[in-house]
Amino acid sequence: MNRWARSAVAGLALVAALGTAACGSGGEPQASGAGVAGDVTVFAAASLTESFTKLGREFENAHPGTKVTFNFAGSSALATQITQGAPADVFAAASPATMKTVADAGDADGTPTVFVKNQLVIAVPKGNPKGVTTLAQLSRPELKVALCAEQVPCGTAAKKALDAAGVTVPPVTLEQDVKAALQKVRLGEVDAALVYRTDAKAASAEVDGVEFPESAQASNDYPIVVLKNAPNRAAARAFLDFIASERGRAVLGEAGFQTP
């Protein structure tokens, strides 16, 4: 895909990109950026699907006349799409490394800001039929384990955790995003997968999440930024403000993310 033509209008400096939105007297977040309207396109890591979808609906309610469209996928795939010219307003990545790809290409408007952190758990079928309780047990030869590919953030985090534990796990499949790895557990195709805590929590009706101490050494920072060629920069900045608001942090915290 050819890079889209650069806008001829210079972007204003990113001011208070993640400022806290004011709250009304009823305790609901007051919409920041009066008069914000139009479409806003958000490219976001797959692990943000549930929480961002919910916040997108609330943002639309807070800003009548706006419509939020999400593109959820692996962060590395999203970074590639952006640097190749895909039109988007906001990028929320699951790791600083994938955000750096976008920033180094000159596609970020300002400095990306970390808005949440996430950690891994071992996702197992409901009831944990194989009795997996530690990371080391994933090396058992009879277990079928799914991991994310190393080039995507959940795969990088898994490698860090496994290296920290001195554990070698031969996966039966390497997936391109965390949702795909989790789906292997949900479908009964594997006995376990290393996924984010938030994804296991979202699928708690079908899977259990087994915590393990080594995950603390492989937590992922999630940075977010308005993109340089954002078609709707005003709405993009308002969306970032909403994500950083008290309500935004509450929704992300309920999903299992660690928030500032």
Question: Are both 226 and 112 inside the same structural domain?
Answer: yes
Question: Are both 111 and 50 inside the same structural domain?
Answer: yes
Print the domain residue range for 162: 120-218
Question: Are both 204 and 229 inside the same structural domain?
Answer: no
User: Is 202 a domain residue?
Assistant: yes
Question: Are both 229 and 104 inside the same structural domain?
Answer: yes
Question: 3: phi > 0 → left, psi -120 to 50 → alpha, else beta; which?
Answer: beta
Question: Are both 56 and 84 inside the same structural domain?
Answer: yes
Alpha-carbon 243 to chain mean position:
12
Intra-chain end-to-end CA distance of the chain, in Å: 37
Which of 253, 207, 247, 260 lies closest to 62, judged by CA?
247
User: Is 109 a domain residue?
Assistant: yes
User: Is 71 a domain residue?
Assistant: yes
User: Is 259 a domain residue?
Assistant: no
pTM reported for the whole predicted model? 0.82
Question: Are both 205 and 125 inside the same structural domain?
Answer: yes
* 222: its two tokens: 């999630």
User: Is 10 a domain residue?
Assistant: no
Q: Could you read off the pLDDT tens digit of each residue along the chain, which spans 260 residues? A: 433 333 333 333 333 334 433 333 333 333 345 579 999 999 999 999 999 999 999 999 999 999 999 999 999 999 999 999 999 999 999 999 999 999 999 999 999 999 999 999 999 999 999 999 999 999 999 999 999 999 999 999 999 999 989 999 999 999 999 999 999 999 999 999 999 999 999 999 999 999 999 998 889 999 999 999 999 999 999 999 999 999 999 999 999 999 97
C-alpha span between 81 and 239 (Å, rounded): 21
User: Is 134 a domain residue?
Assistant: yes
- One-letter identity of residue 210: V
Q: Are strands 38-45 and 90-92 parallel, antiparallel or unpaired?
A: parallel
Contacts of 142 (CB under 8 A, 6+ apart): none
C-alpha span between 127 and 130 (Å, rounded): 9
Question: Are both 195 and 148 inside the same structural domain?
Answer: yes
Report the CATH number that the domain containing residue 94 is assigned in CATH. 3.40.190.10
Report the CATH number that the domain containing residue 199 is assigned in CATH. 3.40.190.120
User: Is 230 a domain residue?
Assistant: yes
User: Is 130 a domain residue?
Assistant: yes
Question: Are both 147 and 173 inside the same structural domain?
Answer: yes
Question: Are both 75 and 194 inside the same structural domain?
Answer: no
C-alpha span between 43 and 70 (Å, rounded): 6
Number of domains in the chain: 2
Question: Are both 137 and 100 inside the same structural domain?
Answer: no
